[in-house]
Amino acid sequence: MKASGHFTPRRRWLATLWSAILLGCVIASTLMILHGTRFDNRVTALLPEDRQSPLIEQANARLGDQFQDRFVLLLQTSGENVQQLRQMTRALTRQLGHSGVVTGLRWRPDDFRQGDPVNLLGAQRYRLLTPKLQQQLDSGQHEALLQRALGSLVMPTGIDRDPVRDPFGLLDAWLGTQLPTHIHTDQGLITVKTDGGRAAVVTGQLTGSPYAPDLQTRLTSALQNFGQAHPEVTLLRSGLVFHAAAGARQAKHEISTFGLGALIGLVVMLLLVFRSPLTLLTLLLPLITGGVLALTLTLFLFGGIHLLTLAFGTSLMGVAIDYALHLQSARVALRDRFRLRPMLAGLLLSLISSALAYGVQAFTPMPGLRQMAFFATCGLIGAWLTVVLWLPGIPIGRSPFTDRIIDTLWRLMSRWRGLLGWRSALGLALVMLLLCVSFTRTNDSLRLLDTSSSAMLDQERQIQQLLGRDTGTLYLLVTAADQQQWLERVESLTPTLRRLVDNGHLGDFDSLASAVPSHARQQHNLAQVRQLYHTTLPTLYERAGLPRTLEQRARQHLQNPPLLEIDDWLNSPLGHSDQRLWLGEINPGTTASGTPGKTVAGMVVFSGRFDATARAEINQLATHHAGVRFVDRVGRLSRVLGELRQQIAIWVAMALVVLVAILAVRYRGRTWRVITPAAGAILIVLSGYALTGVPLNLFHQLALLLVLGIGLDAGIFSAEHPGDRHVWLAITLSTVSSLLTFGLLAFSATPVLHYIGLTALIGLSAVWLLTALVQPAQVHRQTREHP
């Protein structure tokens, strides 16, 4: 049988108006999206505007460009058979070439040739001195330089050992500091030394986005085919594409297990209870309409939307299914005796409590939280209006089986009623609160968002260590009025950085000033070389048995050699890889200090070891030098997560205080029964984590918001309808549906989803149990509400 709705003309007019508003929202949101509405995924966009730094975002993007569409493979065979290693490397590159998604494969020395250094830097070599040469010249160690030059003249080696152009091998010495020391050439291969011998290096560039599913599939298939054909080969991988592919595989697996399992379980459960596909659709309808309203108003007010808002705002808005469950459960149980008016107070209080708990975060200084709060609150309002204005007019199925479920749940709950009095509840709450204060730990590390396996992260770290590569996560951002001031500023930092490297506190650092000295430094270098020529060149030629006439020709090269400029270096093949370290001229509005005028910027990037001593001294450098800022990308984003967590805790606590005062006006002595399911569940979760040593993070807290919303709904409806059996059916369905949707995520291998799922699993179970325990014992003797 079907129970028809009760639609008065006034209610029908309001329902039509709500339909028109939603239609307008659909049209407006579609137009905004089609016209390029911004979907932001930057975690730093969640920060207040006065703490955001477009320049840092620009630097992060420049440093990250090298990892976007490139990858590195290290190929190692057992033993030291270089010929076998070469054959395997050739086979691998053929396999990659056939995949059709890789270009620019480099694995032979010729692939890495970067032009003729003599033509590129031959004229400027007299202005370019290595730190070691500078030290020897400053300390007057001309005899040591003389002996080395004699040896080179007797047995010429290197790129250019012409006795006239470069008798002291300045260009060779300088190039030796610019080329990576970890990489070697071996019988036509580029290799690095490993614990097991040598590994061949293969680098490549993707033809498309590393997130493209087809590209990921074809690349991983090529590597798998190679591995199956050559099981004796060990292959290490580094590159965003491999992490993206692993994340996509894990997401597909979890969607097909948790997502599909939750959906099937939810549909089966609701169909078993209500025995009507139409009723099932009416339960989902408020979520859809609430989402449409929330998305439209958020796009209109904020001009865009953050992806975290969509993810977590939609999850928090899932509380809105409670409204539909309570309404439809009452309609099924009461049948023709159903009236909307008696339920309006509970529905309205439920909306106000959840909207207050979520909406109060709109007053935080964090734009991300404000947007999430606005989205969730608008979604709740939209869902509530749909439940009140639409659902009573939609026919609903009813079945005797539903009556039996209601009776069974009521009898089960009746056994537990009254087992927890207010004194016991208060005592337990104080104990759990003491545990939380004493033992709660936090962890806001950005690595919580990392979906890569430990094995893949170990490979990444191993390759970075073997190749001496940096990740671009730790660097100094240096700004100055012009290029020369920038170079001089970085040169003033270099002695401290070099000392940290020499003392083992810092692995290494990379800056443009290492390749391009300032004009002042180049002038000083040239003066030192002229002094070297004046004091040592005659003796060198004499001992080498060369004619004295060459001396004048050699000195002519020092007359007016050109200066090496930043742009010349970056535009040369040798300096191409250093382009990631240079931002060049930037807009005055994006400077770290905000001062107007022409400004240039670049980075000094750190790699390898970075201990507490290095951090402390580099922080001091940034503090005491103008235009220098230390950037820890991981630490910076971790602080954002930590501040979000703290802001949520503070404002939700304030909202709860206000909410208790509001509820006390209506429920007076019963207020503790209304609050206990939500507050008790939260304390159970937090004290459990405190006792077991699980550190609290942002994602635990976001899940606690869901627990809070469902707990408040359970408490309010239990207090509004203490003897109505349909209320316990709705509370049970709400809890089980949320457990299926979120609780199953506790078994996810993705850390973020695991934290959300575990918190939801414990918290929602506690809500369901506490709701029964705090109800007065005598209520279960009331009469049945259905025939």
Beta-carbon contacts of residue 415 (< 8 Å; ≥ 6 apart): none
| CA 197 vs CA 75, 78, 79, 81, 191: distances in Å | 11, 8, 7, 9, 10
The three-state secondary structure class of 628 is strand
Tally: H helices and E strands in the chain:
29, 15
The residues facing 201 across adjacent strands are 74
Rg of the chain over Cα atoms, rounded to whole angstroms, equals: 35
For residues 779 and 787, give the distance between their C-alpha atoms in angstroms, rounded to a whole number. 19
Is the Cβ–Cβ distance between 782 and 413 less than 8 Å?
no
Using alpha carbons, select from 109, 169, 72 the residue that is nearest to residue 459.
72
Task: For 156-184, give the DSSP string.
Answer: --SS---TTT-TT-HHHHHHHHHS-SSEE
pLDDT at 30: 93
- C-alpha to C-alpha distances, 456 to 79, 236, 474, 751, 753, nearest whole angstrom: 24, 9, 21, 15, 20
Looking at residue 49, its pLDDT comes to 56
In angstroms, how far is the first alpha carbon of the chain from the final one? Answer: 15
CA distances from 405 to 384, 411, 566, 733, 770 (A): 26, 10, 78, 11, 20
**Cα gap 219→368, rounded to integer Å:** 37
What pLDDT sits at residue 412?
86
Half-sphere exposure of 424 (CA within 13 A, CB side): 8
Query: Would you state the pLDDT for residue 16?
Result: 94
Q: Residues 6 or more apart from 254 whose CB is under 8 A from it?
A: 748, 749, 750, 753
Q: How far apart are CA 571 and CA 574, in angstroms?
A: 8
Distance CA 74, CA 477 (A): 32
Task: Identify the pLDDT of residue 637.
Answer: 80
Query: What is the four-CA torsion angle of 768, 774, 777, 783, rounded to 10 degrees?
Result: -50
Gap between the Cα atoms of 660 and 671, Å rounded = 7
Secondary structure (DSSP) of 411-455: HHHHTTTTSS-HHHHHHHHHHHHHHHHHH--B---GGGG--S-HH
Q: Domains of the chain, with CATH numbers?
A: 9-40+275-398 (no CATH), 68-108+191-262 (3.30.70.260), 112-187+522-557 (no CATH)
Whole-number pLDDT of residue 187: 76
Q: Which amino acid is at 530?
A: R
The confidence score (pLDDT) of residue 2 equals: 46
Specify the length of the chain in residues: 787
Q: Which residue has the tokens 């500091």?
A: 177
CA atoms within 13 A on the CB side of 315: 25
Residue closest to 673 by CA, chosen among 430, 421, 427: 421
Whether the CB-CB separation of 477 and 592 falls below 8 Å is answered with yes
What is d(CA 763, CA 766) in angstroms, rounded to the nearest whole number? 5
In the block, tokens 């001396």 appear at 551
Other residues' Cβ atoms within 10 Å of the Cβ of residue 327 = 25
Which regions of the chain are under pLDDT 50?
Answer: 1-5, 50, 589-595, 780-787
